[in-house]
Amino acid sequence: MQHGSFNEPIRNELTEDGVQQMLDLAERLRAASGGELDDAAILAVSEATGAPVEYVRLAIRLRPEEKKKSFAHRVRSEYLGLDPEVRRYVIGGLIGTGMALISVLSTRLSSVGSRSFDGVLGVLQIVLATIAIYFASTSKDSRSAAIVGAIASGVGFTMFTIFKAVGLTNAAVEPTLLIPITIAGALAGLVANKLVAQNRKKLGLKDPLQERHELLRQLVELQDKLRSGEQAITFLSLDIVGSTKMKEHADPLSIEYTFNEYHQFVDRIARKYGGRVHSTAGDGVTCAFDTPMQAFGAAKNVQAGMLELNTFGNKTGIPLSLRAGIHSGTVVPPKPGDIASLNFAHVIDIAAHLQKVSPVGGIVISEVAANTLPGGAHTVGIERIEAQNVTGIIWQSKATGPVAAPSEPPPFPGNE
């Protein structure tokens, strides 16, 4: 049974689930487009998940690769990892360098009397100039367009001057022309950008705002698919207090027997209340339930049953004492409906943190879970405690009151 009221309040910080969701959305959009994510797609991922644009860009850039990529692929990925405007500036510089190289090659061929490639080199010059104009004209604003044009022309002239200095060409170069040529390139980029902005529809170019809205629509659809398996769940985290010292003094076989009895004891109670053991790690046990009421009932039963366990199932001679934490929220299992396949979740982490601040023999249940209990949160207790910015309510047995943590274990017979 699902309970939408168990949803946690939306927070500004990115959780581990949020990061994974962001990467899942990015990868699905990448697969749909058949290549690397462009700037509009990265911006759409940012807006859909609430993550900063640079965080999205960095996370995608540093994501684990499934297989070794070629050098060209790595260079392309590094290039796409740059800020969009920086990429345009890099392209402008490369275009300027390419035009300088073509000019050097043209002058060298002319110096040896070969003009058979003049036409080809001239076409290459025009192509590079056209690419520079394209990048300038499609810049986000006139300032960026002017910078792209200035870089392309300024770098081109500078590189040609450097090539002459190292003896690659004998063509005459007047260094004082650098500033006028750079200004001319900036003006050309500015004019191209203005013309394209005024004639975007005639040229058949998409409006960047509309394109981003379309990408956001696709991302929302992907989010809905990712969340199709979302379900409300409550986790109970249990941990034995002082188990390390216990293991130092008790017989290994007694420890193994006692802890097996403890795990079976917790499993029986979890099943009794409609739950199941989700995972075990060392002395800790995490149980999953459909509702906070089930988890809270199981936690109280576990704490109350420790007397029986210590009497009949504990062969170490040292009483077992537990801390317990409960938290509710929504999760998206990798396999829909299979909670056991869920290894990482913010809800589990918070339950574990609440368990760590619980008094020995007590239970700390988060307010979001306690508020759904019959009678409300005041039926749990009045004492509050904080863990990872989550408020928990402390429950302690009225019959026993607070339980002190185990001190030094008593000496075993024959060890005195």
In a domain, 67, yes or no: yes
- 253 and 327, same domain (yes or no): yes
Note the pLDDT of residue 397.
80
In a domain, 203, yes or no: no
Note the pLDDT of residue 316.
84
- 101 and 77, same domain (yes or no): no
Paired tokens of 301:
């039963």
Confidence of residue 54 (pLDDT cuts 50, 70, 90): confident
270 and 286 in contact (C-beta within 8 Å)? no
Paired tokens of 105:
């090659």
- pLDDT tens by residue, 305-344: 999 999 898 888 888 999 999 999 888 776 655 666 677 7
In a domain, 213, yes or no: no
- 262 and 241, same domain (yes or no): yes
- 68 and 88, same domain (yes or no): no
Boundary (domain end) residue, out of 209, 224, 239: 224
The enclosing domain of 291 has a CATH number of 3.30.70.1230
Of residues 197 and 392, more confidently modeled: 392
| Nearest-10 Cα torsion for 188, 189, 192, 198 | -130
- 171 and 266, same domain (yes or no): no
Return the percentage of the chain with pLDDT > 70, whole number. 69
Mean pLDDT score, 135-147: 84
- 168 and 313, same domain (yes or no): no
| Cβ within 8 Å of residue 26, ≥6 positions away | 37, 41, 42, 45, 56, 59, 60
56 and 29 in contact (C-beta within 8 Å)? no
- 311 and 291, same domain (yes or no): yes
- 51 and 33, same domain (yes or no): yes
Residue 63, pLDDT above cutoff 70: no
In a domain, 18, yes or no: yes
Boundary (domain end) residue, out of 163, 189, 224: 224
Paired tokens of 238:
């249990």
Name the least confident of 175-179, 227-231, 260-264: 227-231
In a domain, 408, yes or no: no
Confidence of residue 242 (pLDDT cuts 50, 70, 90): confident
118 and 178 in contact (C-beta within 8 Å)? no
- 159 and 304, same domain (yes or no): no
Residue 23, pLDDT above cutoff 70: no
- 102 and 57, same domain (yes or no): no
In a domain, 247, yes or no: yes
Domain count, the chain: 3
Of residues 122 and 83, more confidently modeled: 122
Mean pLDDT score, 18-28: 63
Amino acid identity, residue 343?
Answer: N
Note the pLDDT of residue 405.
44
- 390 and 321, same domain (yes or no): yes
- 241 and 342, same domain (yes or no): yes
Residue 385, pLDDT above cutoff 90: yes
For residue 329, the enclosing domain spans: 231-395
